Amino acid sequence: MLLRLEPQEVVVTSSSAHFSIGEIQCVAVCDGTFSYPIAWLFSNVPPEEVESTLHQRKLPATHVESPYTCLLVTAGKRKVLIDTGAGSLAPTTGDLLKNLEALGVSPKEITDVVLTHGHPDHIGGVLDASGQPAFPNARYVISRTEWEFWNDPTVLHDSAMDNHMKQLLVGCTQKNLPPLKERIVLVDGEKEIAPGIQVIPAPGHTPGHIALLISSSGAQLLHLSDAVLNPLHMEYPAWRSFFDLNPTDASTTRQQLLDRAAADKIKVLAYHFPFPGVGRVKNEGHAWKWAAGD
């Protein structure tokens, strides 16, 4: 039986947000932002329809400003960092280490780094300037399926992405993943990787994409990673991003995770939602509605 606890406050600054899940302490940490053309996030929708929808919400109609929100979880003696941001991908990214330092957290304190998938905005910060692991005492956790996918020399050969995007994605994995080989922990299926932190397979965005369920004292947080990229993907479930490598699986995963979050009335974190990306999910017929905050 799922216990219902009173929502706990999220204390937000410009670069971090503190909250707790039962006895587990969490800090959402911003790595920066990136401006996405609307065609990248809503690739199967007429541009004028997206523009009109954004305009109605008093949002820019030509692009979507997306934060990159990493999550620091302190569970017992473990300091677990979920995703590492984009590193030097853009002038507006790569703030993770600076913002961790502002919190008084050294990279040496991190015991576990969880990589939800192999896209550049999630693995861009795994290495330091000398090409060594940026978190020198950590093990790096990734799904076996994801690791094998990005280490396949033929990866993305059959993708409909343009060559520039393919080169960006593959180039990042070829640079950032091999130096982690001796520290990598590969996981299969659902598995607890630290006290109260469970991996949940969430394929579609990439083949080995994972979500995470954080649980303590009856409270829960469902970390969606990139299973949902923007609140509009909740309101309009047929809209999709061209970053979803398998749109059918991505749609199935999205429905399962959002239905679970709504049914259990649990807190959710979404990596690309307006910072700090923490809120709740409500069912709206055949779609969902995002409620930011606690």
pLDDT tens digits, 22-38: 999 999 999 999 999 99
Mean pLDDT of 214-225: 97
The pLDDT assigned to 219 comes to 97
73, 23 in Cβ contact below 8 A?
A: no
Helix or strand holding residue 56 (H, E): helix 47-56
The pLDDT assigned to 8 comes to 53
Alpha-carbon dihedral 82, 83, 85, 87, rounded to 10 degrees: 120
pLDDT tens digits, 173-183: 999 999 999 99
d(CA 32, CA 275): 10
d(CA 188, CA 144): 6
The pLDDT assigned to 153 comes to 87
pLDDT over threshold 60, residue 68: yes
CB < 8 Å & 24+ apart, contacts of 182-187 = 183/133, 183/138, 183/139, 183/140, 184/139, 184/140, 184/141, 184/142, 184/147, 185/139, 185/140, 185/141, 185/142, 186/142, 186/143, 186/144, 186/147, 187/141, 187/142, 187/143, 187/144
Q: pLDDT-derived band of residue 284, with 50, 70 and 90 as boundaries?
A: very high
pLDDT tens digits, 101-153: 999 999 999 999 999 999 999 999 999 999 999 999 999 999 999 999 999 98
Say which residues have a Cβ less than 8 Å from residue 163's Cβ, sequence separation at least 6. Answer: none
206, 149 in Cβ contact below 8 A?
A: yes
Mean pLDDT taken over the chain: 94
Mean pLDDT of 267-283: 97
d(CA 232, CA 237): 8
pLDDT tens digits, 152-167: 988 988 777 889 999 9
Q: Which residue has the tokens 């990439």?
A: 206
pTM: 0.95
Backbone angles phi, psi at 213, to 5 degrees: -115, 120
The pLDDT assigned to 4 comes to 35
The pLDDT assigned to 267 comes to 97
Domains of the chain: 11-292 (3.60.15.10)
Which range among 56-60, 141-145, 290-294 shows the weakest confidence by mean pLDDT?
A: 290-294
Mean pLDDT of 239-243: 95
